[in-house]
């Protein structure tokens, strides 16, 4: 991975931007960011884990961004509090996001009473239905659809082929990747006399500020109220959020997570890949669910859970350690059962002999 800038930037300027301290040559000109394995002269790399300290000795990078100086390594160091976070900021600095051309493509369809903010970018074949509100500096990629009365907040980036159904509210600086559908009908049916009858889904969806939705995310509208994704929350690709779900701030849902309807999830929660949550549950704040966890009952705040149905992650690790030994344990149990049977036969024989001699 390499991100470069032709003109470059002095390490002193970078240090000031990142509130870091230079140990070494502050006049170095840095023109790119690279992984420690393939960095070249003129580039800066970073170390966040002790296992990469050995690679730091052989890297060709001109400077290393770390939390401390590594003894015995003749490099210029930029000491920062959080190297990985600073790496992200440097990537953004050297590779600023590209904006779509400002304006409305002639092939776009704009409905009646649509409010368009300043410096908006509307791509080819975009459809914006009646009464929609598009904030300042919003970018909407080719082929996307904005339903009637929906709102898209300032600075939001909508990539190509996104569907935002009617009555959806999207906050500021939201990023929505291709293929995502917001406001599709919730999965609601009434079973009556052998048939499923659709329950109209007349609620909406609220996406708060600074949310990022990956590719092919689906977020169902509420049956009556709102489905809510809290500020700063990030959803990976292929995540499904059912109707009337409430997700708190700064929560992470990793790829293929599925949330059933009417679930409430707290803030700073992490649901790892392919975790699933049964409907109408409450998951507290700062909960971590490992990959493939099946959440089948309420989870108090601060819990770390695994397994299906879920239980304590520590207990799950212990059970997994035992699971690997099950074939041997089974063999031992069978062997012990055989020994016990033989001993019981011997005891019975001894009892019979004693009775016969008395």
Same domain, 64 and 109: no
- pLDDT for residue 313: 64
> Is there a domain that residue 320 lies in?
no
Same domain, 137 and 166: yes
- pLDDT for residue 124: 98
**Per-residue confidence of the chain (358 residues) as pLDDT tens digits?**
454 444 689 999 999 999 999 999 999 999 999 999 989 999 999 998 777 788 888 899 999 999 999 888 889 999 999 999 999 999 999 988 888 999 999 999 999 999 999 999 999 999 999 999 999 999 999 999 999 999 999 999 999 999 999 999 999 999 999 999 999 999 999 999 999 999 999 999 999 999 999 999 999 999 999 999 999 999 999 999 999 999 999 999 999 999 999 999 999 999 999 999 999 999 999 999 999 999 999 999 999 999 877 656 667 677 777 667 778 888 888 888 989 988 988 888 888 777 777 6
Tell me the C-alpha distance between 277 and 273, whole Å.
12
- pLDDT for residue 1: 47
Contact 248, 269 (CB under 8 A): yes
- pLDDT for residue 316: 60
Same domain, 294 and 336: no
Contact 168, 182 (CB under 8 A): yes
Query: Of 94, 123, 138, at which residue does a domain stop?
Result: 94
Same domain, 90 and 111: no
> Is there a domain that residue 128 lies in?
yes
Same domain, 46 and 171: no
Tell me the C-alpha distance between 267 and 117, whole Å.
31
Q: Is 338 helix (H, G, I), strand (E, B) or coil?
A: helix
Indicate which residues carry an active-site annotation: 243
The H or E element containing residue 54 is helix 53-56
Residue 294 is part of a domain; what is its CATH number?
2.160.10.10
Same domain, 242 and 113: yes
Which residues 6+ apart lie within 8 Å of 331 measured at CB?
Answer: none
- pLDDT for residue 7: 64
- pLDDT for residue 109: 98
**Burial class of residue 170 (count of CB atoms within 10 Å of its CB; 0-12, 13-18, 19+):** buried
Burial code of 29-50, b = ≥16 C-beta within 10 A, e = fewer? ebbbbbbbeebeebbbbbbeee
Structure tokens at 130: 């009646």
* Global confidence as pTM: 0.84
Tell me the C-alpha distance between 263 and 270, whole Å.
15
Contact 163, 145 (CB under 8 A): yes
- pLDDT for residue 235: 98
What's the domain count of the chain?
3
> Is there a domain that residue 286 lies in?
yes
HEC assignment per residue over 119-165: CCEECCCCEECCCCEECCCCEECCCCEECCCCEECCCCEECCCCEEC
Tell me the C-alpha distance between 195 and 183, whole Å.
25
**Structural domain that includes position 12:** 2-94
> Is there a domain that residue 258 lies in?
yes
């Amino acid at each position: 991975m390499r991100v470069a800038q032709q003109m470059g930037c002095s390490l002193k300027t970078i240090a000031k931007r990142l509130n870091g301290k230079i140990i070494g040559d502050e006049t170095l000109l840095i023109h790119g960011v690279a992984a420690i394995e393939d960095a070249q002269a003129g580039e800066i790399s970073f170390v966040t884990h002790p296992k990469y300290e050995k690679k730091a000795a052989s890297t060709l990078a001109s400077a290393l961004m770390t939390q401390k100086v590594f003894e015995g390594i003749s490099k210029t160091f930029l000491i920062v509090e959080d190297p990985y976070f600073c790496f992200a900021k440097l990537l953004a600095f050297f590779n600023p996001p590209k904006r779509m051309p400002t304006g409305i493509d002639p092939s776009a369809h704009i409905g009646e009473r649509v409010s368009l903010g300043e410096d908006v970018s509307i791509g080819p074949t975009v459809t914006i239905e009646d009464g929609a509100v598009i904030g300042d500096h919003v970018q909407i990629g080719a082929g996307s659809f904005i339903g009637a009365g929906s709102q898209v907040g300032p600075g939001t980036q909508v990539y190509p082929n996104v569907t935002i159904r009617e009555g959806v509210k999207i906050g500021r600086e939201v990023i929505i990747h291709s293929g995502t559908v917001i406001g599709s009908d919730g999965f609601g049916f009434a079973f009556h006399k052998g048939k499923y009858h659709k329950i109209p889904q007349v609620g909406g969806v609220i996406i708060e500020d600074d949310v990022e939705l990956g590719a092919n995310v689906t977020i169902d509208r509420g049956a009556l109220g709102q489905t809510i994704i809290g500020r700063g929350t990030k959803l990976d690709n292929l995540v499904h959020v059912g109707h009337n779900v409430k997700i708190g701030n700064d929560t992470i849902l990793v790829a293929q997570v599925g949330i059933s309807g009417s679930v409430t999830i707290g803030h700073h929660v992490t649901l790892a890949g392919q975790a699933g949550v049964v409907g109408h549950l409450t998951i507290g704040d700062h909960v971590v669910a490992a990959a493939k966890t099946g959440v089948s009952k309420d989870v108090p705040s601060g819990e770390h859970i695994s397994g299906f149905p879920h239980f304590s992650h520590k207990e799950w690790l212990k059970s997994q350690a035992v699971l690997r030994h099950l074939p041997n344990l089974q063999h031992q149990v069978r062997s012990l059962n055989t020994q016990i049977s033989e001993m019981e036969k011997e005891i019975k024989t001894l009892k019979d002999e004693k009775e016969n001699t008395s």
